[in-house]
Structure 1
Amino acid sequence: MVTMFLMHDHPGWEITADNPAPVRAVDSRNGSAALLNASARPEVFRLPAGACAALPPPLAAALRDLGPVARFRTPSLWDAIATAIIRQVIRAGQARLQHQRLRTAHGPAVATERGPVHALPSPQTILEMTDDDFAALGMTFKARPLRNAAAAYLDHSPKWAELPPGRLVEELQTVPRIGPWTAGAATADFTHDWSLYPYGDLAVRTWAATAAPDHPWPADEHGFAAHWRALTGEHVGVLTLFTLALGAHHAGAPAPSPPPRS
């Protein structure tokens, strides 16, 4: 029997000791929320033959040992953008906490047996929130980029929905306070094109080095990204996703958030 690792890296997943089965509410595009759980169908990723050939052997073995990796694509572009903004600068645990606070305080809910599960607030709700609302959540620093993104999403989402992933990354960067990291992370989350994920970030560097500590990984982001691209070639997307999955698998939680950037 082939085992499969199901990623719950998105900070919208709710997992508690009393209710260990992860559930997540997502925007249903009409101001309400829909439930995403194990009964839905995630996308399943497998390593192509020869994909790991150029990787350091310990990392290659660790990625192969994962077996197939399953992940739910975020069905709402707004959710993907807002989540990437929340993840800017801060560590994964803090991002998860802020995400949960924002959802619970201002997002639409789905009733479940375990109680209400909240999705992120809509762009309209974000624009209606006051400075005091953001301060009460400990998210003053996130107010401006979230408002910028909400206004841009309301203006441009029909156009964005028609763009191929690479162009979407470019268009998102026209929004103030959305830079290459945020645009790439949001687009990968929304489209599952992981070749667009900012693979030089701390998460990929951390788990690659954890699996293959004796390999001479470049310490800086740009040097690592160039080296990673050379090692992974045409398989950069799936190998990046598997490396993130490796971190989530061993940590029992999402991999580290990126260093300060937008």
Structure 2
Amino acid sequence: MTAPPRAPHATGDVGTVVACPGHVDPRRTVGRLRRGAGDPTWATVDGAVWHATRRASGPATLRLTGVPGGVRADAWGPGAADVLADVPGLLGLLDDPTGFAAHLHPAVARAHRTHASLRLARGGDVWSTVVTSVLEQRVVGTDAKASWRRLVARHGDPAPGPAPAGLRVAPPPAAWGALPVWEWRQAGVDAHRADAVRRAAAVAHRLTPDLAPAELARRLQTVPGIGPWTAAEVTSRALGDPDAVQVGDAHLPHLVGWALTGRRADDAGMLHLLAPWAGHRQRVLVLLEVAYRGAMPAYGPRGRRALPMR
């Protein structure tokens, strides 16, 4: 995305500087929340990170810019004040590693030393995370990202304020729930996932960011079509849950097994290997991903971007 010519350095409707201990790179910290380089709800322009999101108070655009001693945050739109209040969590400043024992395994200790500044971000936008997580069920990542990109580009709203061209706010739950079947099919989304999003939209008012991760996971799993994997994706990304484990993932058990034992593992083996880090299992998973994913033998499917379903 490219910035429009108007007011690229304007201050927001509300703004603040968030002090950060050490160096915090907004691009790296929020990177796990972005669903691919083409995610229309995110953009990076001239070193600044832009995000279009939605809160109960309405849509908002957030801009994060690194400054000496912290991060400058500006926000526009009806939801500006609420999204600005979420910035410390978004930057990982609410992440508490107390009790994390990286030394229990050399691979984890090495990953922790190499990525000592890594923080678990709390995205705050539960609903959009529900949608992206459901779209990622049982398909390759490129398919899910392409579906998200198409649906938000077609049905989302322009981001408020002087946002980069093409930045979009994802639709609210009611709009997702009302999408006709052909819109899902054109985006390459099968009926199982489309139905899960529609069912979740009907109870979205109960899926709030003030819930404890365990309670949000419980509520999510009362929705047909949403299980432990999807719930863990949501709590880890939207709430910064440091202990979430994506049981049922096509890659994570093999990554954990390979990094910690040199052999592939299944879900049961992964849970056994992660047990010493109870309370911080998501932290271990993220560290292993950033440190070793590129070195791991390739396991699991790869495929083309989502195509319209026939």
8 Å contact 2:126–2:238 — kept in the other structure? yes
Instruction: Provide the C-alpha distance between the structure 2 equivalents of 1:85 and 1:227, rounded to a whole number of angstroms.
Output: 27
User: Could you give the per-residue CA deviations for residues 210-257 of structure 1, whole angstroms, max 9, x where no partner exists?
Assistant: 655xx2545211221122223x24432432333344368x59xxxx99
> Residues of 2 paired with 1:28 and 1:48: CA distance?
30
User: Residues 107 and 19 from structure 1, CA distance in 2 versus in 1: closer, same or farther, beyond 3 angstroms?
Assistant: farther
1:260 match: none
Instruction: Give the letter for the 1:120 counterpart.
Output: A
Which one has the bigger helix percentage? Answer: 1
1:183 corresponds in structure 2 to 231
Determine the C-alpha separation between the residues in 2 that align with 1:47 and 1:173: 27
Aligned match of 2:201:
150
Does structure 2 retain, via aligned residues, the 8 Å contact 1:85–1:146?
Answer: yes
Residue 116 (str. 1) matches residue 143 (str. 2):
no
Q: TM-score, normalised by structure 2?
A: 0.66
Q: 1:233 to 1:130 in 2, by over 3 A?
A: closer
Q: 1:221 aligns with which of 258, 267, 271?
A: 267
Report the counterpart of residue 134 of structure 1 in structure 2.
184
**In structure 1, what is the Cα distance between the partners aligned to 2:240 and 2:174?**
26
Question: Take 2:100 and 2:124, find their aligned partners in 1: how far apart are those partners?
Answer: 31
Instruction: Read off the aligned partner of 1:183 and give its amino acid letter.
Output: A
**Any idea what the Cα deviations from partners look like across 1:56-83, whole Å, max 9, x if unmatched?**
x134212320121145422222112112
* Residue matched to 1:63: 112
SS of the residue 1:124 aligns to: helix
Provide the C-alpha distance between the structure 2 equivalents of 1:73 and 1:9, rounded to a whole number of angstroms. 10
2:229 touches 2:246 (CA, 8 Å); kept in 1? yes
CA contact (8 A) 2:155 2:171 kept: yes
Gap change, CA 1:203 and 1:67, over 3 Å in 2: farther
Q: What is residue 172 of structure 1 aligned with on the other side?
A: 220
Write out aligned runs for 1:1-262 (5 A): 5-10=28-33, 11=35, 12=39, 14=42, 22-30=49-57, 32-35=59-62, 37-38=64-65, 39-40=72-73, 41=87, 42-44=91-93, 45=95, 51-55=101-105, 57-110=106-159, 112=162, 114-141=164-191, 142-154=193-205, 156-157=206-207, 160=208, 163-198=211-246, 201-208=249-256, 211=259, 215-217=261-263, 219-230=265-276, 232-246=277-291
Equivalent pairs counted in the alignment come to 244
* Counterparts of 1:239 and 1:35, CA distance in 2: 29
> In 2, distance between residues paired with 1:218 and 1:210?
5
Structure 2 unpaired stretches of 5+: 1-20, 66-71, 74-86, 302-310
Say which structure, 1 or 2, has more relative contact order (CA 8 Å, 6+ apart): 1
Could you say if the C-alpha distance between residues 194 and 217 of structure 1 is closer, same or farther in structure 2, counting changes exceeding 3 Å?
farther
Q: CA RMSD in A?
A: 3.3
% identical equivalent positions: 22
**Pairwise CA distance, 1:118:** 1.3
- Aligned residue type for 1:166: A
Larger strand share, 1 or 2: 2
**TM-score, normalization: structure 1?**
0.77
**Alpha-carbon distance in structure 2 between the residues aligned to 1:37 and 1:93:** 27
Q: Supply the distance in 2 between the matched residues of 1:203 and 1:146 (Cα, whole angstroms).
A: 24
1:65-123 C-alpha deviation (Å, 9 max, x unpaired): 01211454222221121121112112222222222111111112215453031132111
